[in-house]
Amino acid sequence: MIQKSTKEKVADTAARKRTNTWSTKDKNWDAGTIYCSPVTYKLVVQELRVDPKYVCAIPLNTPFTVVSPDCLGRDVTVSLCEANHCPGAVLFFFTIRNPAKPRSPPTTVLHVGDFRWDRAYMQNIEIISKICSRKVRLNELYLDTTYCDAKYDFPAQRDSIDAALKCVEVEGIGSESGKTLFVFGAYTIGKEKIFVAVARMFGKKIWVDARREKVLKTFFSDEDAKMLTRNKAETNVWVVGLGQIVNKGLKEILDDANKRSGGGGLRGPKYQRVVGFRPSGWTYSGKSTKKKDAMLQTTLAPQKKTKIPDIVASRKSGVVSIYGIPYSEHSSFSELVDCLMCLQPQNIIPTVSADKSREQVTLLLDSCRALIKEEKDSGVHDEEEAKRRNAS
């Protein structure tokens, strides 16, 4: 899949390399046409500097005829839809028809790329809703099995965002807004929803550097883009590279901020403290960290009424506090199981750790069966199935 590997390049190259080294990395791309979402098109051309003649943007939720010599004798279309992953990431839904057999149903293939399954969100997508209601039969599912293990049980994104908002509230962004600097760690793209939610909730602007501003503006709505500022004096909500969300990095940011504001003079330092936020995908493990976090929390904010949510890991050292927010853009194990329950594919092809694909499929199917049994025992399944039969 050229489409997936290129999208991956944007996301994963961004994750692994320093921002200033990857922009020129792939401008010599000439391994065929890249079919992608309009957002990925912009990022691939603007950030990776791939020659636009190699990139083809396909509008979302619109069947697109794929012309390929590999598909001779077959009529193949693809539809792209939102993957609930990083900006530009899409699911690819293929239908393959044999023109010699116009009456037989097409073969259907869904390649999810990287995705986070969320039933309520995904069922709003036309093609997914058709598969869920069995109007369309899904033959093959290429599944993002990044977290295909029951130990990966992390909170829903909404809960993670709420937790981040709570932390910001506890740290007093409203009442002592001039005294605490809030710094959010981020990759080049991905996990923007956290700092966007904070800025919206507390009516703040978001400081970003020129490079990040350019990237964010490729996919931010006009309304969100208005929240961005290049002027540090305008806000105490800043976004920096994830690598700077460590004690030393945050202390440097704080010192630099106070130097700029002429701190130390009659007015005193502008900021007394700095609070860093580090979104993490997989470091969260509910039970083992809870006790430790609870201890840290009592030392962190003993006198405040609002409590730091359990799912957050927090650390404080002098004027620096760091919150780890479990925020995943891949599906948790239970979400993968729910995805299979909804889509009921005939065939599952794991796309992560392919050497373990057989074990992964067994694990997923066993969990589906256990869930069905559990629901049957409690009568839920019959009800659902009856509803589904009535609906179709």
Which residue, 11 or 109, has its beta carbon nearer to Zn ion?
Answer: 11
Q: Is residue 318 packed enough to be buried (19+ CB in 10 Å), middle (13-18) or exposed (0-12)?
A: exposed
Q: Which of 191, 198, 193, 196 is nearest to 171 (CA)?
A: 198
State the nearest-atom distance from the C-beta of 388 to Zn ion, in Å.
32
State the nearest-atom distance from the C-beta of 279 to Zn ion, in Å.
14
For residue 226, give both structure tokens: 């208005």
Which residue, 87 or 249, has its beta carbon nearer to Zn ion?
Answer: 87
For residue 285, give both structure tokens: 């493990």
**Nearest 5°: phi and psi at 242?**
-55, -35
CA 329/CA 158 separation, integer angstroms:
12
State the nearest-atom distance from the C-beta of 8 to Zn ion, in Å.
6
From 11, 45, 57, 215, residue interacting with Zn ion (rule: CB under 5 A): 11
Which residue, 86 or 227, has its beta carbon nearer to Zn ion?
Answer: 86
Binding mask 160-199 for Zn ion (x = CB under 5 A): ----------------------------------------
Task: Tell me which residue has tokens 């799912």.
Answer: 311
Contact region for Zn ion (CB under 5 A) — 11-19, 69-77, 147-155, 307-315? Answer: 11-19
In the chain, beta strands by DSSP E: 34-36, 55-57, 64-66, 75-82, 90-97, 107-111, 140-143, 180-186, 206-207, 228-229, 237-241, 273-280, 313-317, 320-326, 347-350
Quick check: 82 binds Zn ion (CB under 5 A)? no
State the nearest-atom distance from the C-beta of 84 to Zn ion, in Å.
11
Q: Which of 10, 56, 58, 2 is nearest to 31 (CA)?
A: 2
**DSSP 3-state of 358:** helix
Which residue, 142 or 271, has its beta carbon nearer to Zn ion?
Answer: 142
Contact region for Zn ion (CB under 5 A) — 6-14, 128-136, 198-206, 208-216? Answer: 6-14
For residue 74, give both structure tokens: 């077959």
CA 53 to chain centre: 29
Q: 299-317: b or e for each residue (b if 16 or more CB lie within 10 Å)?
A: ebbeeeeeebbebbbbbbe
Which residue, 11 or 90, has its beta carbon nearer to Zn ion?
Answer: 11
State the nearest-atom distance from the C-beta of 335 to Zn ion, in Å.
16
Contact region for Zn ion (CB under 5 A) — 7-15, 101-109, 139-147, 170-178? Answer: 7-15
Cross-strand bridge partners of residue 185: 240
Kindly identify the residues of this chain, within the stretch 83-142, that bind Zn ion according to CB under 5 A. 114
Helices 157-170 and 192-202 sit at what angle, rounded to 10 degrees? Answer: 50
- Please give the size of the binding site for Zn ion, defined by CB under 5 A: 2
CA 193/CA 182 separation, integer angstroms:
15
Contact region for Zn ion (CB under 5 A) — 10-18, 41-49, 66-74, 299-307? Answer: 10-18
State the nearest-atom distance from the C-beta of 361 to Zn ion, in Å.
21
Which residue, 11 or 254, has its beta carbon nearer to Zn ion?
Answer: 11
State the nearest-atom distance from the C-beta of 110 to Zn ion, in Å.
17
Q: What is the widest separation between alpha-carbon atoms in the chain?
A: 85
Which residue, 314 or 331, has its beta carbon nearer to Zn ion?
Answer: 331
Look at strands 90-97 and 75-82 and give their pairing: antiparallel
**Nearest 5°: phi and psi at 112?**
-85, -10
How long a stretch of residues is the chain? 392
For residue 175, give both structure tokens: 């009442």
Which residue, 11 or 181, has its beta carbon nearer to Zn ion?
Answer: 11
For residue 274, give both structure tokens: 């700095």
CA 270/CA 328 separation, integer angstroms:
34
State the nearest-atom distance from the C-beta of 89 to Zn ion, in Å.
6
Contact region for Zn ion (CB under 5 A) — 3-11, 299-307, 308-316, 339-347? Answer: 3-11
Q: Which residue is nearest to Zn ion (CB)?
A: 114
For residue 308, give both structure tokens: 């730091």
State the nearest-atom distance from the C-beta of 371 to Zn ion, in Å.
27
State the nearest-atom distance from the C-beta of 303 to Zn ion, in Å.
41
Which residue, 9 or 204, has its beta carbon nearer to Zn ion?
Answer: 9
Which residue, 116 or 270, has its beta carbon nearer to Zn ion?
Answer: 116
Residues that bind Zn ion (CB under 5 A): 11, 114
